[in-house]
Structure 1
Amino acid sequence: YDQARDYYQQALEINIEFGDRHSCARTYHNLGYVAQQLREYDQARDYYQQALEIFIEFGDRYSCASTYHQLGSVAEDLREYDQARDYYQQALEINIEFGDRHSCARTYHNLGYVAQQLREYDQARDYYQQALEIFIEFGDRYSCASTYHQLGSVAEQLREYDQAGDYYQQALEIKIEFGDRYSCAMTYHQLGIVAQQLREYDQAGDYYQQALEIFIEFGDRYSCASTYYQLGKVAEELGELEEAKANYLQDLVITAEFNDEHGLGISLRNLARFYQTTQDEDLLREVAKIFGTTVEGLKEAIINSEE
């Protein structure tokens, strides 16, 4: 991405020098995408807005659609779901107007995700189904995988675990078929959650281990954290408390390393609960070491959190 940004910046300089304002818009759009991948969301939004202004200025309504879509994606990344929905709706309206049915599918998928985050599950399912129908219509089997995955997620949230498992398996089958090993990891993880909810703990552990192996293989240390957490839950259910502790601590180390405040809150509350169950002083010593604090300080924090 850093290399990509350098090239786009060079292209932009030349387009500005020669007064090719319309070409600047496409480069601003691509710079926005690079910034978004680097999690520089404010910068991404600025670039997309500059692209959009130029497309509107030139009456290039069709090109506005993809930029509205990406502005929706940035808002989604920032959990500004109402704003994201507005941008996606504008993108969808233009794609429908220009008969770009395949692009509609991608936007339906994202509208489904936004609805899902807002707990509008029936609406989410409808959007995903519309996306899936178009992907199938265009023979875009690969794109079906992510939509099957999200339909599985909706079913999971509605506690329709058998249905969720079926959707996840369809997603996994396509990902394996296309050799998309990295994407398989998240689906293995979700299959683990489904198996766990159905109390199929050995199966759940197998799925989580497959997810973890892939995350490690691809160097995605951050994603390992939630899988370690779930492996800890499975081990605890099976009464393997030392194994559970080891996995919970792995999760904590990674969430602390990435300064994931939301994840840290979940991990620490879980460890406080686990300590109350086990009264394992070694656990507190390990946690204290991670945060450079004392066991006494941790105990006080646990007591305060209960109050």
Structure 2
Amino acid sequence: MTVSQAIREAAARLAITSDTARLDAEVLMAHALGTSRSDLLLRRLNDAVPAAFVNAVERRLRHEPVAYITGGQEFFGLPFTVTPDVLIPRGDSEVVVERALAASPGARRVLDCGTGSGALLLAVLANLPQAQGVGIDRSHTALAVAQRNAEALDLAPRARFTPANWTQAGWEEPLGGPFDLILANPPYVEAHAELAASVRDYEPAGALFAGDDGLDAYRALVPQLPRLLCAGGIALVEIGARQAVAVGALAEAAGFHAQLHRDLGGRPRVLELCMGG
């Protein structure tokens, strides 16, 4: 069997569990061959099928995300290592980076709350060569992944990752604020929300769920942001599609003016927060 035939058969099988079956099959095959998808499609379709491809397809049939099988995910044009210890960076979250770069192009100190893989912070630092950043997470295993990504992207000299939990008193003291720019993609999924099996069964629950209404993390974090920001500083907070009003109210109660930004699908995605006005 050739690579081309194996991809076609795998795509037919994966169609049962994936809306992107053909793409999944191609990405998994490229990974098994140790090449890029473009090189696969241009030069490798008549090759023999590597044994690793069969196992990869079986894992995908059990709903395991492709990014966890391959160990990587692109975000904002950068390659990131991902493991089951961190959420998989989504394209929808790129609007956080876009707005951060537009709103605070001169930022020199950046804080990322709930850094996970480090994707938000490192994407911003890669585009702001004058900036240094701190990424915090309560998960030590997530911080290890973020550190690996910083090193792989040659950003480790400008990025520091440290454990912190914003529900605990004094959590911000070791961070060395204030900051010109704060990024936050906290947990915001309702405790009983129905999720795709690939998310529910594989991605870390602690980075997903935030109480019965999905707002617990915002209630804890947003009121603390003013004291972490420099004068004129900006915070970019990712939200769930139905949370703009509720999180906006929390922000305004903390003294912020909140501006909503939508993702490419037109869904509410980010609140840009600045003090007063």
Give the TM-score of the pair, scaled to structure 1.
0.29
Give the TM-score of the pair, scaled to structure 2.
0.31
Q: Please tell me whether Structure 1 or Structure 2 has the larger radius of gyration of its CA atoms.
A: 1
* Structure possessing the higher relative contact order (Cα contacts under 8 Å, 6 or more residues apart): 2
